[in-house]
A and B are shown apart, each in its own frame.
Chain A
Amino acid sequence: MSTDLRDLYQEVILDHSKRPRNFKPMPDANRSAEGYNPLCGDRETVYLKLDGDRVQDVAFQGAGCAISTASASMMTERVKGMTRKEAEELFERFRALITGAKPPVGGGPELEKLEVFSGVREYPVRIKCATLPWHTLKAALNGQGQTVSTELSEGPPAESGGA
């Protein structure tokens, strides 16, 4: 396997794509949203149990590629216990990582394990795969019950990476 492909499909990412964590329905969720990427037909639903402003529990379901599945899986592990603001700040940091943009200034949680997605920036057409779960999480956090599409939601045009 060529080394640059390994930059994208890192072991951690492959592991999460094959054995996604928190991949289950959540009957007692008090928030959920569906994310849709019409370019590849991927659909993911993110479920939340919000306690006030804090993510008490999070899960997801759906069919997606390795990048979007791993991204969703690792996202759910990371945002559990965070406040809405922290989760949104982490999304901004994550988006900067994979688009190669300047990271946002100021506080907020560190990327930590999510750094493994840095290889995505060399694959501009795959950026939307990695951000789909995050857009969906954001919609769920904000109580937007409708489907968010990578082609309609805010952000994606700038996420094309310019390549």
Chain B
Amino acid sequence: MSTATRPAPPARPAYDVERLRRDFPILSRRVHGKPLVYLDNAATTHKPSAVLGTVRTFYEHSYANIHRGVHELSVEASEIYEKARERARAFVNAAEAREIVFVRGTTEGINLVAQTYGRANVGRGDEVLITALEHHSNIVPWQILCEEKGARLKIVPIDERGQVRIDELEKLLSEKTRILAVSHVSNALGTANPVGRIVALAHARGVPVIVDGAQAAPRIPVDVRELDCDFYTFSGHKMYAPTGIGVLYAKAKLLEAMPPYQGGGDMISSVTFEKTTYNILPFKFEAGTPNIAGAVGLAAAMDYLGAIGMDAVEAHEDDLLSYATARLSAIEGLTILGTAEHKAAVVSFTLEGVHPHDIGTVLDREGIAVRTGHHCAQPVMDFFKVPATARASFGLYNTREEVDALARGIEKVQEMFRP
């Protein structure tokens, strides 16, 4: 692309991680007498004051149930909630706000699609295609569906570096495939999948694609129209927003044709004991009082990320990833699992002779929070023939000094467990 004809982007201040850290109150606390080094961002992220303050202000000034009352507070709350939907639309560049369904999180987003689109479109002898990289939440809903329908779950294998085998994916896409489910970024290994290419291959066979964006949404710019995926779902709590809120994006024509998910209030336009008419999009999929304040907090987190710029967040985390990869690789006996060409800032590793659980306990006493275990991705662990790994996952507020602290902590672990 020629840059000569493009208007200059608005000037953005250089990435000032120390200033950003001050936005997160929890980062100033100490753990076991040491400064907190929080490297478990793939599990969940901390919340900036802007998000916490917005939620508090909403409850203090504008809170009421939505889409129900004629009174002022209900009108205000409904407007703020729908503004949050518009914010989410813009965040993933969806065409219309009615393509944004608020859900509890990625897990509910996937279950919604499996239980509505899946139940309507997958039948006996059909196939559902997923990859060997998936989180349990992108495996189990499809297993449940396949069991109910007598369909078959097919798995696209990964290679030694933890990358989806595109050649195998092409072979496994068949005339029986009804849907393909794939993660944008792997939570266990950090692999960034070529989703645009995968969608194009699937669409060439007429197969719709659902993308698990839980790890991608906080880390890289997401454009659902550029990806051309049919469904994209992600969680608020992994992107600096409160727990219990997430987004399912779906193309409007798919949502129109899908049966509803849960029945209840707000998802109907009229109810008699003989017949219920469902509400228009997206309300058809939002039965009951939703997590109103959660959506407001999510929009605040999107504003926060937008002000920094997702390109800037990505560049910062890329820097941390290369620094951490170099620093940890230099430690004798340490093996990094997942060495994909395209990776997000997740480093899964094992230490010779030391169980990940013991790594986690020793690091914890140094104030360093990492995840240890199978990361809800047991098939990935099985592939690498390990019961578990330790995983450091970075966020927008982490620093190179924290990578150094991690490396020093690992050396302490080795000292303790030296044979």
Seen from chain A, the residues whose Cβ lies within 8 Å of a Cβ on chain B are 1-2, 4-5, 8-9, 14, 17-18, 39-43, 63-67, 69, 123, 126, 129
Q: Is B415 an interface residue (CB 8 A)?
A: yes
Contacts of B353-377 to chain A: CB distance below 8 A? 353-358, 361-362, 365, 372-374
Asked whether, in the complex, the Cβ of B361 is within 8 Å of the Cβ of A126, the reply is yes
Q: Is B387 an interface residue (CB 8 A)?
A: yes
Known: A41-B388, A129-B357. A1 touches B416 (CB 8 A): yes
A40-B388, A42-B355 known; 10 other A-B pairs, CB under 8 Å? A5-B361, A9-B358, A14-B417, A17-B417, A41-B386, A64-B355, A67-B357, A123-B361, A126-B357, A129-B357
CB-CB under 8 A from A2, the residues of chain B are 32, 365
Asked whether, in the complex, the Cβ of A63 is within 8 Å of the Cβ of B416, the reply is no
Minimum Cβ distance to chain B for residue A156 (Å): 16
Asked whether, in the complex, the Cβ of B361 is within 8 Å of the Cβ of A8, the reply is yes
Distance in angstroms between the alpha carbons of A7 and B417 in the assembled complex: 15
Q: Which residue of A lies closest to B381 (CB)?
A: A41
Closest 7 CB pairs of A and B: A41-B387, A65-B355, A65-B357, A41-B388, A66-B358, A40-B357, A65-B358
Q: Is B205 an interface residue (CB 8 A)?
A: no
Asked whether, in the complex, the Cβ of A41 is within 8 Å of the Cβ of B374, the reply is yes
CB-CB under 8 A from A17, the residues of chain B are 417
Q: Is B419 an interface residue (CB 8 A)?
A: yes
CB-CB under 8 A from B353, the residues of chain A are 18
Minimum Cβ distance to chain B for residue A121 (Å): 14
Q: Is B203 an interface residue (CB 8 A)?
A: no
Distance in angstroms between the alpha carbons of A138 and B316 in the assembled complex: 52
Asked whether, in the complex, the Cβ of A43 is within 8 Å of the Cβ of B365, the reply is no
Asked whether, in the complex, the Cβ of B417 is within 8 Å of the Cβ of A40, the reply is no
CB-CB under 8 A from B415, the residues of chain A are 1
Distance in angstroms between the alpha carbons of A65 and B351 in the assembled complex: 12
CB-CB under 8 A from B356, the residues of chain A are 40, 65
Contacts of B279-337 to chain A: CB distance below 8 A? none
Q: Which residue of B lies closest to A125 (CB)?
A: B361
Listed by A's residue number, 19 A-B pairs whose Cβ atoms lie within 8 Å are A1-B416, A9-B358, A14-B417, A18-B417, A18-B419, A39-B373, A40-B372, A41-B386, A41-B387, A41-B388, A42-B387, A43-B387, A63-B355, A65-B355, A66-B358, A66-B417, A67-B357, A67-B358, A123-B361
Distance in angstroms between the alpha carbons of A14 and B362 in the assembled complex: 13
CB-CB under 8 A from A5, the residues of chain B are 361-362, 365, 416
Q: Is B412 an interface residue (CB 8 A)?
A: yes
Q: Which residue of A lies closest to B34 (CB)?
A: A2
Minimum Cβ distance to chain B for residue A101 (Å): 22
Contacts of B362-419 to chain A: CB distance below 8 A? 362, 365, 372-374, 378, 381, 386-388, 412, 415-417, 419
CB-CB under 8 A from B378, the residues of chain A are 41
CB-CB under 8 A from B361, the residues of chain A are 5, 8, 123, 126
Asked whether, in the complex, the Cβ of B419 is within 8 Å of the Cβ of A66, the reply is no
Best-surrounded residue of A1, A9, A41 (most CB of chain B within 10 A): A41
CB-CB under 8 A from A64, the residues of chain B are 355
Minimum Cβ distance to chain A for residue B368 (Å): 13
Contacts of B11-63 to chain A: CB distance below 8 A? 32
Distance in angstroms between the alpha carbons of A40 and B376 in the assembled complex: 10
Q: Which residue of B lies closest to A63 (CB)?
A: B387
Report B344-358 CB contacts with A as 1/0, cut-off 8 Å: 000000000111111
Asked whether, in the complex, the Cβ of B388 is within 8 Å of the Cβ of A14, the reply is no
CB-CB under 8 A from A129, the residues of chain B are 357
Distance in angstroms between the alpha carbons of A123 and B361 in the assembled complex: 9
Distance in angstroms between the alpha carbons of A69 and B357 in the assembled complex: 12
Asked whether, in the complex, the Cβ of B412 is within 8 Å of the Cβ of A1, the reply is yes
Q: Which residue of B lies closest to A17 (CB)?
A: B417
Distance in angstroms between the alpha carbons of A5 and B386 in the assembled complex: 26
